[in-house]
Amino acid sequence: MKDGSDPAFSRGDGDIGPIHVGIIMDGNGRWAAQRGLPRIEGHRRGVEALRQAVRAAPDFGIRYLTLYSFSTENWTRPPQEVSDLMALLKRFIRNDLAELHSHNVRVKVIGLRDNLDKDIGALLREAEDLTRHNTGLTLVIAFNYGSRQEIAQAARILAEKALAGRITPEDITPTTLAHHLDTAGIPDPDLIIRTSGERRLSNFLMWQAAYAELVFLPIYWPDFDRAALAGAVTDYAHRERRFGGVAAPLAVKTGS
């Protein structure tokens, strides 16, 4: 895992690559079905694609990589699949934490922790604690995560602070609300990638993605690799980001 070693994407003055990339890793089940394999096999191969994405990200100048690993809605899947996904997360952390740490990766987990098994909660905490001071890629694992739940939780905390007289309703702004999201301190995603051809956010970083560029890839997640990431980053580099303003040359002309 090199840090910004591809000159085409290295970070520096005038760099046009995304700092924060979020990925909706979709299509594991369909990948498996196409091959007559059980769904769990798609998820297993999905973990391999996840490893490739984490290894490749720094080479494109990416500093934050957020992976949607288990949504608050995924509990509605058959119990066997839910328990398979939990087991995969545990195995991933047990097998890969040392390597992530040795590559200076900082792990951060977003999502609800309260209804997770104790051992999963402990592993997630261990991963965060061990890598807390690392300065390379920040790997954000969105696990038991849902944007609506995250925003509602932030609103609840702010309401409690207002009721306690610690803030006034006027203190509640987009900035203060963002400070109460799980992603506080993490820059908004510049690019969201979704595999499998589906074109929706599915409760992923909905607040944070207000101005993200969206790239939808027609491949299933287990087939995602360095080349697919390179393609998405190149697509992103050709987008014009205006954040609700106007294109830069026009802004200069009108003197605004």
28 is catalytic: no
Strands 64-71 and 138-145: parallel
Site membership for ligand FPP, residue 43 (CB under 6 A): yes
Among 17, 18, 22, 27, binds ligand FPP (CB under 6 A): 27
Distance CA 235, CA 177 (A): 31
Site membership for ligand FPP, residue 89 (CB under 6 A): yes
Site membership for ligand FPP, residue 28 (CB under 6 A): yes
Are 180 and 157 a contacting pair, CB within 8 Å? Answer: yes
CB of 29 vs ligand FPP, minimal distance in Å: 2
Which of 3, 6, 74, 235 is an active site residue? 74
CB of 247 vs ligand FPP, minimal distance in Å: 36
6 is catalytic: no
Q: Which residue minimizes CB distance to ligand FPP?
A: 29
With CB under 6 A as the rule, give the number of residues binding ligand FPP: 19
Site membership for ligand FPP, residue 40 (CB under 6 A): no
Count of beta carbons in the 10 Å neighbourhood of residue 28: 24
Site membership for ligand FPP, residue 92 (CB under 6 A): yes
Query: How does 134-171 read in b/e, with b if 16+ C-beta sit within 10 Å?
Result: bebbbbbbbbbbbbebbbeebeeebeebeeeeeeeeee
Query: What is the CA 58 to chain-centroid distance, rounded?
Result: 14
Are 88 and 222 a contacting pair, CB within 8 Å? Answer: no
Query: How does 220-242 read in b/e, with b if 16+ C-beta sit within 10 Å?
Result: bbbbbeeebbbebbebbbeeeee
- Binding segment (CB under 6 A) for ligand FPP, from list 20-28, 111-119, 123-131, 177-185: 20-28
> At what angle are helices 39-56 and 79-102 packed, to 10 degrees?
20
CB of 13 vs ligand FPP, minimal distance in Å: 34
Site membership for ligand FPP, residue 47 (CB under 6 A): yes
| Residue among 88 and 100 whose Cβ is closer to ligand FPP | 88
- Binding segment (CB under 6 A) for ligand FPP, from list 85-93, 181-189, 210-218, 248-256: 85-93
Which of 26, 59, 96, 190 is an active site residue? 26
Which positions are annotated as active-site residues?
Answer: 26, 74
